[in-house]
Amino acid sequence: MAADIRVFTCLSDNFGYLIHDPATGATASVDAPEAGPIIRQLEAAGWTLTDILITHHHHDHVGAVAELKQKYGCRVVAPHDKTTAIADVDLRVGHGDVIKVGELLARVLETPGHTLDHVSYVFDADKAVFAADTLFSVGCGRVFEGTYPMMWDSLLKLRALPDDFRLYCGHEYTASNVKFALTVDGDNEALKARAAEVTRLRAANESTIPSLLGDEKQTNVFLRADDPAVAIKLRMKGATAEQVFGELRERKNKS
């Protein structure tokens, strides 16, 4: 049976996500940014939390784990500790592991760079990927703990997913990402169309997520660091994908 996926806002710009398995009643929260909005969504739907799938150790992703675990007695799934320990974890996962949320299957991709422990969760049957702070719509996360080549390699893992998969990312950063992307990729028709769509959605106070991975492959310049045309736009003809990616990320940091 198809998963029922709910998208809502936590904190100022984090996304909250609930994935519900109608067959068993199991419900997972991807990360735990803030207890209040997650509990309200669960109660409105009449669901009880069975699992928390943690993507990385940053506080805006794990801050509500203790409170939710206390309230629901749910299982907490998290990546292996690489830099900072995540508390209250029941199951540690790494690349290729498959976990069950009821009868739903989620595959773990290690996607380090933003942090060394960062993982993404792929629900293949539902064509959904939860990439948190690795891949944003029209952007990508800052590289805090890893290296540019490491982050680029993580983006390649996500880019390898099929075009009809939906991207559920960690933050509503799309408008700011579009603004930056237009500075390097302003003649990209798909990007211009996405820019208009994002302006319309944000004006209506609607979420820009999920987006289709196929659209990200066209509009997200960070996913095209190996495209010679992007290197030329940056006056880096002949540079490697890692070098182009690093230049894009540094320009975005300064933007």
For the bound state, the minimum distance from the C-beta of residue 61 to Fe ion, rounded and expressed in Å, comes to: 6
Of residues 35, 68, 66, 34, the one with CA closest to residue 50: 68
Which of the listed partners (Fe ion, Zn ion, none) does 216 bind, with a CB threshold of 5 to 8 Å by partner kind? none
Which residues on adjacent β-strands are paired with residue 182? none
Nearer to Fe ion, 133 or 185 (CB): 133
Quick one: CA dihedral 109, 112, 113, 118, positive or negative? positive
CA angle 156, 133, 232 (to 5 degrees): 45
Is 58 annotated as a binding-site member? yes
**Out of 34, 110, 117, 133, the residue judged to bind Zn ion by CB under 5 A:** 133
For Zn ion (CB under 5 A), the number of binding residues is: 2
**Footprint on residues 223-252 left by Fe ion (CB under 5 A):** none
Q: Which residues are catalytic?
A: 56, 58, 60-61, 114, 133, 171
Helix (H) or strand (E) holding 251: helix 241-254
Q: Is 118 in the site for Zn ion (CB under 5 A)?
A: no
Q: Whole-angstrom Cα distance, residue 240 to residue 227?
A: 10
| Burial category of 218 from C-beta neighbours within 10 Å (exposed 0-12, middle 13-18, buried 19 and up) | middle
Picked from Fe ion, Zn ion, none, the partner binding residue 185 (CB below 5 to 8 A depending on kind) is: none
Cα atoms in the Cβ-side hemisphere of radius 13 Å centred on 100: 5
Q: Which of 20, 58, 157, 249 binds Zn ion (CB under 5 A)?
A: 58
Please check if 90 is assigned to a binding site.
no
Q: Which residues bind Zn ion (CB under 5 A)?
A: 58, 133
Residues in binding site for Zn(2+): 56, 58, 60-61, 114, 133, 171
Residues in binding site: 56, 58, 60-61, 114, 133, 171
